[in-house]
Structure formats: C-alpha cells, structure tokens
Homo-oligomer: A and B are copies of this chain.
C-alpha cells in the first residue's frame, strides 16, 4: 500500500515543530490534516483477506527479528476520536503478532503515586525494553489536548504549546535512544462519529462503552478537531511522523494500522546499523589556562570551631525545613558529582544525618542493570525519583553521560552531545512539578587527590575506596576537567544551577554544601 497517498500528513513536510506555518495567501490551497481521513476509505473483503495474509506473515517476521536483535524497542501510540475503532483495530493487530511480546498500556486517571511525580513519570515507568512492542492508548497526548479544549484556565493555550514542545523533545530523545515511535491517529467525520456513538448505545453488548463524557466531548467536536490538528502538525517530526487513519471502515483502518507498523519497523530494521564510533572525545584547543575550575580558590579553609557551629546550624535548618508542611508538596533531588576522592561520601553522610531517614534515599550510580541497559538512558534515574515530601540523593548521576561516558568513549559523540539538552529538559520537567534540584561539583586539586589516594591505600578500612580505575581516571585529569567545564556551561540553568564546591578542605566543603541546601530549601519554601 502506498502509505504516502492514503496519509498525506505523515511526511513531516511541515515538520518544523516549533513554528506555525505562515498563513497561505490562498486559504483554499491549505490542506487540512483530517481531510483525507474523511473521504470514506474502504477496502473490500477479498482485498482485505488477501493482504492480511501477507501482512501477518511479514509482521510476525519483523517481530521475531526485533526480538532476536534486541537493539530496538517499538512504541505504538494510538490516539483519536471515541468510537473510531481504536480498540478493535489494536485487538486485530495483536492477534497478528506474537501476543506474548506485545504490551498494551491504557491510562485512566493517574494513581496517587503517579500524581506525586512529574507527569511523564507514569509513562517512563512502563517504557518497553529493547526487543518488545508496547501499545499506548491514552498516552502523553491525551491530557494536554483534553485540558486545552475542556479546561477553563486563562493560560491554557500557552500551557498547550509548552506541552507540545515538551512532547517533541521527548519523542526526539526516544528516537535517538532506539525507541521506534509509530503514531496512529484514528479519525471520524462529525456525522460519522455521532452515528457510531448511537449505534454503540443501541447494542446491549457495547452500550457500556459510551459514557456521558463521550457525549460531552462530542459537543466540542470542532474544537477537538482543530486542537488535535495543531497537535498533529506540531509533533510530526521526521523521527516520529503521525499516520491519520480513517476510522470509518473496519477492514481499511486495520490494514492501515498494520501496514504502517510494518513499514516503520522494516525501514528501521533494514537501515544499516548505526556504527557511530564511540571513541574518547578530543579536547577543544585552549587559548589560555583560565577555566571555571582553575578560577576556584581551593585554599579556602574553615576553623574547627566554626565548622562545628555552622554545620550544626545548617543541619538543624535542613531538619526543620524537610519537615515543613510546604515540603509535602515538593521534593528534593540532590546530585553529587566530583573528582574521585573529593569527599562525596563524607559530605553525603552529613546530609543524611540531618534528615529524617525515612524521607530519604541515597542512590549510588554504578554500572546499569540489564533492565536499565534495555531502555533509554534516563530511565534508570526516573525510576529513582522521590515522591512529594521525599528526598533522593544521587551519588553520581545522569551527568555520567557527559563525564565518564564522554571521556572514556563509552558513548558516541552524537549521543553525549545531545545529552546536554535532554538533561536540561529532564530537570525542567522535574522542577515544573515541584522538585527542587540541587547539583554539587566537589572540586579538589590534582595534588590533593594524590595525597588522598595514598592515604586510602594505607588505612585498612579505607582500602575498598581506592581501585585501579581511580588511578586510570587520574591520568585523564585534563580530559575530565574539560568535560566538567562544558557540563557546567551547558547545564547550569536558572532552575537547576551547578554549585561548585572547593573541597581541598573537607570541612569547608561540607559546610558549603549543607548551607547551600538549607538556603535553597528556605528560598523555595519561602519559609524557615
């Protein structure tokens, strides 16, 4: 089937996602997204039967290949009007596939755990691993569109635009992380939908499917049509185009869905495997020695008396603030990065002793598990995020992508380069939902590190802290320094700034970290 003919809108020709195309001088020349889908496409029984056999075999073969190669996950988004045949077509599709490796996800109202996380958390938690196909009814498009049409708020248009932009970035990230997105929009003309809803109501076996809400929404058909069209145009990217499915004929819409999935999978599976060489990054030439790191005054110290007093005071503040009623609507995400032996562990301990242990989780980041490796990079961090009223400390974090993975060449250059933007998006989403994100870089001098390494080798119960890897990393001191400078430059945002901590004096560092945390919390909660 010539998909491009049946669905003229999945070419992404208006694929510049953040800008409305200019108004045409000849309005009649501007085609609408749903126009084709209202033509009443049909396919006859015989054609259907014939094409179904071939399609089925090809789909199954593609699925088996997907499961064997395990280098790609498939997410199928099913959206569109009620009674447009979404469930029926997906049901047919799953009988053509090996149902064991297809997950169908539906979202109703969020659970309370979901409400206490950023909105995308509920989708992240069930992203399919590589080798699998997941179908999402009621996905990340549903809420923004419904709220834009049915909501009352003044800022809802701006909020809608923001959502579309977030979705665009999110889907681009998924595509880059080897999640193939297949997006199908089931459409019915207004009259057809009304007829369909009434028919469902008449049949005692299907009457349950039509709710009051469906009729309420039907009254806003035209608005939904316009807003959906905007969503579709804005989010039709090269990596994740929409296919509009005329839902009026059962055989037709099922074939279109199946063939769209097949052609998307085939195109991706047949593409020569991406052999972006993952190699250590080369450093940019330096003109002088001045960097944000060399500018740090690492000689700063603190007297023991001041240390005791200020630490105790900051700890007491932190204890009070994390118990504050306003904190129950917020959460705290603290990131610790730093040179090896910069004193992260000891500093973290000063934080944990201040806070009610039951509100807190420390997450050390080491090698990912195989479940984590099978999903987009950020998945392992999403799954550890705190609910409202709670706090998570990441001992190393998502910044590994632009630090160790960049320097050691574990990530291809294209991958760590896009990570800066992805990380900023990620942190923005967290903060928008009430999380307070605080990020510390603990910096020590090369000489101080050497002193600490040697000390660790000497003291019996510190030996586990020093490994060959630490010595190897040390040889790449300059590469790491360059990566840190880039990281701070690109991800120190107003909502989640980096705090550089001079850590040659451990006590000075601890006080700076604790006081920063307390001040930040106080400012965010507007209260001590």
Contacts and interface: CB of A to CB of B under 8 A. Distances in A.
Nearest to A365: B100
A90 interface: yes
A208 B352 CA distance: 19
A98 B113 CA distance: 29
A352 B94 contact: yes
A214 interface: no
Contacts of A56: 461
Contacts of A361: 103-104
Range of interface residues on A (Cβ < 8 Å): 35 or more
A104 B369 contact: no
Interface in A309-365: 316, 319-320, 323, 345, 348-349, 352-353, 356-362, 364
A106 interface: yes
B357 A61 contact: no
Nearest to A204: B320
A133 to B, nearest CB: 12
B60 A364 contact: no
Nearest to A102: B362
A101 interface: yes
Nearest to A90: B357
Contact of A101 (B91, B319, B364): B364
Contacts of A205: 316, 319-320
Nearest to A65: B464
A95 B353 contact: yes
Interface string A360-386: 111010000111000000000000000
A483 interface: no
A360 B461 contact: no
A106 B391 CA distance: 13
Interface in A92-110: 94-95, 98-106
16 contacts: A57-B460, A91-B353, A91-B357, A94-B349, A94-B352, A99-B348, A99-B352, A99-B362, A100-B362, A104-B357, A111-B113, A113-B113, A369-B369, A369-B370, A369-B371, A370-B370
Given A111-B113, A112-B112, 19 more contacts: A91-B352, A91-B357, A94-B353, A95-B352, A98-B345, A99-B345, A100-B348, A100-B362, A100-B395, A101-B364, A104-B357, A111-B111, A112-B113, A113-B113, A205-B316, A208-B323, A369-B369, A370-B370, A370-B371
Closest 7 CB pairs of A and B: A106-B358, A100-B364, A104-B357, A64-B464, A370-B370, A57-B461, A111-B113
